[in-house]
């Protein structure tokens, strides 16, 4: 490739060579401006290496006090608090997931045609989502008093809007042709929802609810700090009296609990959604699917993946692509 040829191509398709000088300078200026703003923001928050260094020393002291972790004398309270937190997370997520199913259908454009209704409903979701769980917890502690009930309510209200939005998107991503099949067979509106849409979106909804349960178990610890029950109260008390070894014990216990829930929900997901016994692959499938190093999209990362998950759900009832034996 000679310089003349390169120049000819540059003249013919300047866009292929990274834009004009002017454009490049503009981008450079924008980049510098951003760096300047970043520096100013850090300076504004007193971001200084010395301060960080001192903070690090403080952290190290705490870490030293944490070793060895100790259950302390009130370990029964700790276990009780932990159980309470898990129960709060489960109840809150369960309520939210339950309410979010009908709300998800109501918020989906392919179910509710009335744009004004859908728009207002979605703005209501947005409003609920805009308020953090912790704020809800503070409000419910005032409303229903100290204790786990406030925590359950806070988790449920904060998550119902998020789950409803995710569910609505799942419903909108569902495949129309499957619903059309139900319509053509004479199914009414509710029958279309029940047999055309629900089987497609249920695995997505379920997977989301399980993820939320997992993450709520973590955040339930925070709710206790503001008086909404659970393990958080135990942590807050021990930090106040500087029993860092007991705090470390609680933290370890929480890590184990979250890991256990993660493992359990993964198993549950596989069992309910499929994947335990994958559908037989046709002989003509490209070997790429067999390669271990291939990056596969997760079951929920794309509409296609969602559809795959949906088809696995349908298959999860015992009969896959082959015709069902009579009597099933």
Q: Which residues bind other proteins (CB under 8 A)?
A: 1, 5-6, 9-10, 12-13, 15-18, 283-284, 286-288, 290-291, 303-304
Minimum distance from residue 262 beta carbon to other proteins (Å): 30
**Which CB atom, from 11 or from 190, has the smaller least distance to other proteins?**
11
Min CB(170)–other proteins separation in Å = 17
Q: Supply the angle between the helices 231-240 and 75-106 in degrees, to the nearest 10.
A: 130
Query: Residues with Cβ < 8 Å from 216, sequence gap 6 or more?
Result: 88, 89, 92, 93, 155, 159
Report d(CA 175, CA 198) in Å as an integer. 11
Find where tokens 């909404």 sit.
228
Nearer residue to other proteins within complex by CB, 290 or 328: 290
Minimum CB distance to other proteins, residue 284 (Å): 4
Decide if 288 contacts 106 (C-beta within 8 A).
no
Minimum CB separation of residue 178 from other proteins in Å reads 13
Residue with tokens 């009597």: 327
Q: In the chain, count of helices (H) and strands (E)?
A: 13, 0
**Residue closer to other proteins, measured from CB, 6 or 65:** 6
Give every CB contact of residue 159 below 8 A, 6+ residues apart in sequence: 92, 93, 96, 97, 100, 133, 212, 216
> Residue 49 or residue 282: which is nearer to other proteins going by CB?
282
- Least distance (Å) from other proteins to the CB of residue 8? 8
């Amino acid at each position: 490739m000679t310089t003349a040829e390169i120049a000819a191509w540059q003249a013919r398709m300047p866009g292929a060579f990274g834009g004009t000088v002017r454009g490049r300078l503009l981008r450079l200026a924008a980049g510098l401006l951003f760096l300047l703003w970043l520096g100013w923001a850090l300076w504004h928050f007193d971001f200084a290496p010395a301060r960080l260094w001192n903070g690090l020393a403080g952290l190290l002291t705490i870490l030293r006090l944490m070793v060895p972790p100790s259950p302390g004398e009130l370990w029964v309270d700790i276990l009780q608090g932990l159980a309470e937190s898990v129960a709060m997370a489960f109840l809150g997520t369960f309520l939210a997931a339950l309410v979010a199913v009908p709300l998800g259908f109501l918020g989906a454009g392919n179910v509710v045609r009335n744009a004004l209704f859908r728009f207002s409903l979605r703005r209501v979701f947005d409003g609920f989502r805009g308020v953090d769980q912790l704020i809800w917890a503070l409000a419910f502690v005032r409303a229903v008093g100290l204790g786990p009930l406030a925590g359950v309510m806070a988790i449920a209200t904060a998550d119902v809007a998020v789950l409803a939005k995710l569910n609505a998107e799942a419903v909108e991503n569902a495949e129309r042709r499957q619903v059309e099949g139900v319509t053509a067979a004479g199914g009414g509106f509710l029958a279309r929802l029940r047999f055309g849409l629900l089987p497609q979106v249920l695995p997505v909804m379920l997977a989301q609810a399980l993820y939320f349960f997992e993450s709520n178990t973590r955040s339930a610890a925070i709710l206790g700090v503001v008086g909404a029950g659970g393990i958080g109260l135990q942590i807050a008390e021990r930090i106040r009296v500087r029993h860092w070894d007991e705090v470390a014990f609680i933290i370890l216990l929480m890590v184990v609990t979250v890991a256990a829930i993660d493992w359990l929900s993964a198993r549950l997901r596989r069992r309910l959604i499929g994947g335990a016994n994958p559908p037989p692959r046709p002989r003509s499938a490209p070997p790429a699917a067999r390669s271990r190093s291939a990056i596969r999209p997760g079951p929920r990362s794309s509409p296609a993946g969602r559809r795959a998950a949906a088809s696995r759900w349908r298959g999860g009832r015992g009969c896959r692509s082959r015709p069902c034996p009579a009597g099933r």
